[in-house]
Structures are given as C-alpha cells and as structure tokens.
Amino acid sequence: MSTGNIRVGVIGTGGMGTRHAVNIHRFVGGATVSAVYDLDQGHANQAAAQCGNARVFDDPIKLINDNSIDAVVIASPDGTHADMTLACLKAGKPVLCEKPLATRAEDAVKVLEAEVAIGRKLIAVGFMRRFDPQHVAVKNMAMSGEIGKPLLWKGVHRNAQIAFGITGATILINSAGHDFDSARFLLSEEVQDVSVRGLKSRPELHQDTKDLLLIQMTMSNNCLATAEVYVNDEYGYEVSAELVCQCGTAITEQPDKTLVRAKSHRGFYVASDWLSPFQDAYVAELIDWVDSLQKGQPFHGASAWDGYVTMMVTTAAIQSLNTGAVVPVKLIEKPALYQ
C-alpha cells in the first residue's frame, strides 16, 4: 500500500456511511474520500458534497475496481457486506467493512477462507467499541490485575426504536454482534456456548417480533457473560459493559454526560442514536485503519477472524432462541494469519 495519501471509496451513504465519509474528510489526515456510492444516488450526491465533492459512482463494483481507489469502506445494508468484501479481496484492496461481516455463517466462512487464501490481512471489521476510550479503560483495568481475574462480562445494549416487526434473528445479527464482540474483546476469550431468550415488548407488535433479548454465554476459560439487548426502549440509546472481577468491578460510562436542569428535572440527556456517543471511537478506528495502510503496521481493531467468530456466535444464538437449547459455538481452528 502507498505511503502517501490513501484514496478511500465509501459504499453506502446512509447514516453510518455518511458519518464515516465525513469523519475521514474532517478528522483523518493522510486519507481523502475520493468516491462514494449509494443505491439512492441523491444520498450519494449529498454525502459527496459534504466531503470535498467526491466522485459519485453508480455501481459499487466499478468503485471497488477503479484504479483511483486505494481502499474501501463498506456501510451498505448488512446483507450486501459479504459480497462487497469479497469483491474488495478480488481487487486486492483493503476494506473496512461495517459489522456484521456477513449475515449467514456460510458467507462469513467464504470471506474468511478468501482472505486466508490471499495470505494477507486486507479486512478490518467495524466493531468500533474496541476503540471507545471507556471500553479500553475497562480492558486495561482487568489486564492490570488490580481487581483480580475477570469472572463475568455484563452488557446492556438499548436502542430507542427499531423497525416495526423486527425478528430476534435480525437483532442478533445487526445489534447483538457488538455485544458478542465486546465480551470476547474485554475477556480476551472465545464464546463456548450461548443461550438466548426473547420476548415481544408490546402486544401490538408483529407476532414474530422479539425486541428484548436476554443472552447468556459460557466463555472458553469458564468466565460467564450476559447481555440484555432491548431495541424499543423509547427513551434513547445506551450501551454499557461491566467486568466483574475477583475483587472489584469496572464499568464503562457514557463520556458525553452533561448535567441538565430543566422542567422540574435534574439529570442527564440520553443520546437518541449511537453516532454521537461513539463519535470518538469511530474517528479513532478510522485513524488507526488509515495509519495501518500508510505505515504497514497492524490494524488494532477487529479482523476477518473476529467478524467470522461473531457470525458463528450469532448463528448459535439464533438456534438457541428458536429451540430454547444451550447451543455450542463451533469454530474452525484459528488460521495462522490471525495468531
């Protein structure tokens, strides 16, 4: 990869893709948003205008293969991620793919195998919590040994609202992937088995809806992990991760808290979505990614292996939700590329 300016193409310019494009344009030295693509060309034009009038493509594959593009960010709908990532690998281009890496286990395997066949780590996966200063502080505290050995990871993950009729499987793929990755990242362990229960929060929701999930995991070193994922809380977006260790605990706090007094109330606002609470993490992730491309140093975020493992945990979690069983997570042996 060139040591000069990295010319990035962004595929998908919804909320997340536009945020990545604008973040690169404003905050990432050494990279330029050279091109954007979205199925909705109006959206693509708007995103392009916000980052120095990047070129607008009408076909994502043309963007990936274009000689003027050095690296690609994928933020198109989840179901397209695996194919877009495979196209980047075919073109030999580094790619930062938003989570999930794939929406089906077999596609995650295909992507992993394709990268292993190339023998170079071209794929980065957008599990941005790994760059969140609060999560990093919790991990450092656990690793310091000051509060003893970690025993339990406890996650809370809430969204104000998600599309009507969303199934438990969709939440596990689109939302809970972050929690699977957070547990693995903070405990430095793999998930051995998973058990999921779910319910529908309101009678008027579609019969297949499961918008509140309770997840339990056994980790590879016999630590435990548990998460509440609730995507219709109405009040806002909140994420926390706590490590219960032998003689103390460490928990993330939202960094952007301002005490507000208004309308007979004294308290903290809660963000309505994830873009602002994790803004610093998104920027740090992009800076680390571009640095890794420019300087040939390792990317410190999630790899194709992490994307693959998350999809395998997700697959077991869906099976557990459907059957009520505790489902083992089956992984291939970790390829040398990711050791």
Report the b/e string of 258-269 with b at 16+ CB within 10 A: eeeeeeeeeeee
The sign one gets for the Cα dihedral 162, 167, 168, 172 is negative
With binding defined as CB under 6 A, does residue 159 bind ligand ISE? yes
Site string for ligand ISE, 260-279 (x = CB under 6 A): --------------x-----
Find all residues with CB under 8 Å of 14, minimum gap 6, and list them. Answer: 38, 43, 75
Q: Which two tokens stand for residue 150?
A: 């970690």
Of 62-70, 170-178, 254-262, 310-318, the segment contacting ligand ISE by CB under 6 A is 170-178
When CB distances to ligand ISE are compared, the closest residue is: 175
User: Between residues 185 and 274, which has the closer beta carbon with respect to ligand ISE?
Assistant: 274
Find all residues with CB under 8 Å of 18, minimum gap 6, and list them. Answer: 43, 46, 47, 50
User: Between residues 93 and 99, which has the closer beta carbon with respect to ligand ISE?
Assistant: 99
User: Between residues 15 and 328, which has the closer beta carbon with respect to ligand ISE?
Assistant: 15
Q: Which of 7, 130, 178, 184 binds ligand ISE (CB under 6 A)?
A: 178
With binding defined as CB under 6 A, does residue 174 bind ligand ISE? yes
Cα distances (angstroms) measured from residue 241 to each of 139, 146, 302: 10, 18, 18
What is the nearest approach in angstroms of ligand ISE to the Cβ of residue 312?
19
User: Between residues 81 and 139, which has the closer beta carbon with respect to ligand ISE?
Assistant: 81
Instruction: Count the alpha carbons within 13 Å of 262 in the hemisphere toward its beta carbon.
Output: 5
Q: Which of 13, 76, 85, 175 binds ligand ISE (CB under 6 A)?
A: 175
What is the nearest approach in angstroms of ligand ISE to the Cβ of residue 218?
24
What is the nearest approach in angstroms of ligand ISE to the Cβ of residue 338?
23
User: Between residues 109 and 271, which has the closer beta carbon with respect to ligand ISE?
Assistant: 271
Rounded Cα–Cα distance for residues 225 and 213 (Å): 14
Nearest to 44 by CA among 79, 69, 9, 68: 9
What is the nearest approach in angstroms of ligand ISE to the Cβ of residue 216?
20
Site string for ligand ISE, 215-254 (x = CB under 6 A): ----------------x-----------------------
Q: Are 225 and 236 in contact (CB under 8 A)?
A: no
Element at 31 (helix H, strand E): strand 31-37
Nearest to 9 by CA among 71, 97, 92, 84: 71
Of 145-153, 171-179, 199-207, 219-227, the segment contacting ligand ISE by CB under 6 A is 171-179
Find all residues with CB under 8 Å of 80, minimum gap 6, and list them. Answer: 12, 60, 74
Phi-psi region of 266 (alpha: psi -120 to 50; beta: other; left: phi over 0): beta
Work out the number of other CB atoms within 10 angstroms of the CB of residue 207: 7
What is the nearest approach in angstroms of ligand ISE to the Cβ of residue 330?
26
With binding defined as CB under 6 A, does residue 37 bind ligand ISE? no
Of 174-182, 247-255, 279-287, 303-311, the segment contacting ligand ISE by CB under 6 A is 174-182
The residues that touch ligand ISE, with contacts defined as CB under 6 A, are 159, 174-175, 178, 231, 274
